[in-house]
Structure 1
Amino acid sequence: MTTSPPRGFVFDIDGCLMKGARAIPGAPEAMAALRSRGLPVRYFTNDSSKTPAEMAGRLERGGIAAAPEEVLTSALVAAEYAARRFPGGRVLAIGGSPLRDALERHGLRLVQDGPADAVVVGRDLELSYRTLEAACRAIWGGAVFLATNLDRRVPVEDGFVPGTGAVVKAVAWATERSPAVMGKPSIWAGRAAVRSLGIPAREVAVVGDQLQQDVRMGKLAGTVTVLVLSGSSTRDDARRVPPRFRPDAVLPDVGGLTEWLDLGGVGQGGEERGDRHDERAVLVPSER
């Protein structure tokens, strides 16, 4: 574990900074404080149904400063991977226009039926049985199965809505194939996020509310990891995961980040920093 505070941050959005159209209390102030210290930030969303510009606009309306070039999406990672593996290839996509546009910008040809080199499954708010059938037939015909993410659900203002994982599981169940996941928690997502900051992984902190997505991505990429309890995962969840995937720190929300940094960022050997009874910043023992 690094013994110095992180020099750059990668943030999850839903459940970490935002719930629906509203910022989580304390998030705008926390992000402004990080920027005032000259710390670069990136925003990573597994939502393939929005463009970086749309996600930046959503953050801005919530009071959080963001530029499109600071936003990474699972659609961008999937498009980059597919283009590298199948240059100019045929791709059948389940997803909205942001996913399809990303694929086309990387020189891939979109098809509605097989044969295809790859099937990319993202978030599709207008999914039809016809599209589901076409995707399965393409995979049965030999197409590689890619998923933007396996998110089971997405936090919104009044609870949760089904995530992309629900659609991915339907395709996987029918085809008896497991997808290669492009978004969080994949190594491809983690490397893309770290690369965009231009600093070593060990000097980057990944902050998010989901152990199986955000924290795992950071661990696989070799970064510091911070779990916030404002979304899906709980402190008990963090204690139950295998040691190698436990977060380096657990905070109630991103409002505790500046205090955590002031205490040194991460402790020696996973020990708590400061008052051991202070619930604002608790470090969970972890292995790296």
Structure 2
Amino acid sequence: MKYKGYLIDLDGTMYRGSEPIKSARDFVKKLHKNGTPYMFITNNSSRSQKDISQKLNDMGVPATQEQVVTSSVAAAMYLKGLNQGASCYLLGEKGLHEALEDGGFSITDDDNCDFVVMGIDRHITYEKYAKACLAIRKGAAFIVTNSDTAIPTERGLLPGNGALSSVIAVSTGVEPIAVGKPEPVIMEAALSKLGLEKTDIAMIGDNYHTDIRAGINAGIDTIMVFTGVTRKEELPGLEKKPTHHVADLREWMAFI
């Protein structure tokens, strides 16, 4: 089946850390050559849209920053709908800081705040955890960019934001609100940018619990690749199967 547009995951689908996945690069290059619309949609909150598009271009993958939707951007969109200009205590990296600042939010180092917002933070400390927990116990809402327990890198699977944020959830007894895949916030942002009917779009990803569930929840077809988190051996045990599955995107080249 041919689709008119694609939503494409990054980590584990386009690359593993700094290592590009050649079949995925060739796939996107063909989309670009054919004029087929595509958007990259990622739960990675550490980089800005500009940084991610530059990383893709450096790997030979055609991408503009307008073609990238991150979980940080989704978090800013979600918070705007709740309380524009609110104060946020932030655990995260550059991409999340920039998205919230660009969204007009006040970033505070105080535990008296409206929201605790957490993305992947590879410089996490006990004190950061402590302030986040104190803020939540004072009534701040707990928002996470995503609940990924593991992220694929060239080293293997490393702890993701879901694993890190679970410390706060366990300590406070408050489960966070997630805005990244498979939640609808990030999908709605990407789908609106593609501007196509849902029946004409496919979601491509390596992680069943985030990418494929996101597509299923959004009511679009899905293409699972076995280049990242979910292994082919797990497929028979999945309750809701992806629409299609391939070893890598080289197998889908004939359909574009």
TM-score (normalised: structure 2): 0.96
- Tell me, yes or no, if the aligned pair for 1:12 and 1:214 is still in contact at 8 Å: yes
- The match for 1:163 is 160
Alignment of 1:1-288 (within 5 A): 5-243=2-240, 246-259=241-254, 261=255
Find the aligned partners of 1:42 and 1:89 in 2 and give their Cα distance: 29
| Structure 1 residue 172: Cα displacement | 0.7
Instruction: Tell me the TM-score normalized by structure 1.
Output: 0.86
Q: Distance in 2 between matches of 1:156 and 1:56?
A: 18
Q: Secondary structure in 1 aligned to 2:13?
A: coil
Deviation at 1:110, TM superposition (A): 1.1
Higher Rg: 1
Deviation at 1:202, TM superposition (A): 2.2
CA shift at 1:241, angstroms?
Answer: 1.9
CA separation in 2, counterparts of 1:97 and 1:251? 34
**Equivalent AA in structure 2 for residue 236 of structure 1:** E
CA distance in 1, matches of 2:73, 2:238: 29
Residues matched between the structures, number = 256
What percent of counterpart residues are identical?
Answer: 30
Gaps of 5+ in 2: none
Partners in 2 of 1:147 and 1:20 — Cα distance? Answer: 21
1:160, distance to aligned residue in structure 2 (A): 2.2
Would the alpha carbon gap of residues 180 and 231 (structure 1) be closer, same or farther in structure 2, given more than 3 Å must change? same
Contact 1:28 1:64 (8 Å CA) reproduced = yes
RMSD over aligned CA atoms reads 1.3
In the alignment, the residues of structure 1 paired with residue 73 and residue 33 of structure 2 have an alpha-carbon distance, to the nearest angstrom, of 29
Q: Which residue of 2 aligns with 1:279?
A: none
Measured against aligned partners, the alpha-carbon deviations of 1:115-149 in whole angstroms (never above 9, x if no partner) come to 22111110111111111111111111111111101
- Distance, in Å, in 2 between the alignment partners of 1:225 and 1:214 is 8
* Structure 1: distance between partners of 2:115 and 2:234: 35
